Amino acid sequence: MPVPSADFKKALKRLSEAEKEALLLRAVRRDAELYETFRFELLADVTLAQVQEETADRIHELFNVAVTGRLLNRSLVKAVRASVQEAARARRITKNKQLEIDLLLYILRQCIDNYSGQFDSVYDGFYNATARLAARVPTLVLKSLHEDLWVEYKSDLDEILRDLHSRKKSHQLKFELPRKFEIPE
């Protein structure tokens, strides 16, 4: 992303309020994420909970669309990828890392609760994508959140990891999937 130059800043200061407003409206029409960011920052009625709910609805919709695909396993892998991108987008909009982690756990719950039958498919793409996400979330929790919050995620992560390890494919993974969420002392 380019850094605004001094000349650019001076030119921006010379603009009238109406010109600034028109410029801003043009920018948010072109960039949906910029619109969502300004909407969250400027409007008092748009809360963190509302952004989380809207993002969870989009994630849920991504998985509903995946079910209609011809190749279910491949469609579910695409849904996981797109859902992770939605969670990252929500974090960029709100600047809240805990929101991203909560949404990633929501994605894992969607995968396990609704589509765990696909883990036993001859195609291992969906299981691998889910396991990679499950391996990434504990690291994010430890890196991004205050240590007082780690305990809140332990039971959920342990249950997800236990469920993924109960599958035959867990022995064929090309990466390390932790057995449980280890909290450092």
Residue 158 contacts residue 181 (beta carbons within 8 Å): yes
Q: What percent of the chain has pLDDT over 70?
A: 99
Residue 13 CA neighbour count, 13 Å, CB half: 7
In a domain, 37, yes or no: no
According to the model, what pLDDT value does residue 69 have? Answer: 65
pTM: 0.89
Mean of pLDDT values over 151-165: 92
Q: Report how many domains make up the chain.
A: 1
- Classify residue 14: in a domain, yes or no: no
Which of 100, 107, 111, 184 lies closest to 142 in space, CA to CA? 184
Region for 95 from its dihedrals, namely left if φ exceeds 0, alpha if ψ lies in -120 to 50, beta otherwise? left
Domain residues for the domain of 103 are 47-172
Asked, for residue 116, whether it belongs to a domain, the answer is yes
pLDDT, one tens digit per residue, over 103-115 is 999 999 999 999 9
Please report whether residue 67 resides in a domain. Answer: yes
CA distance 2 to 8: 11
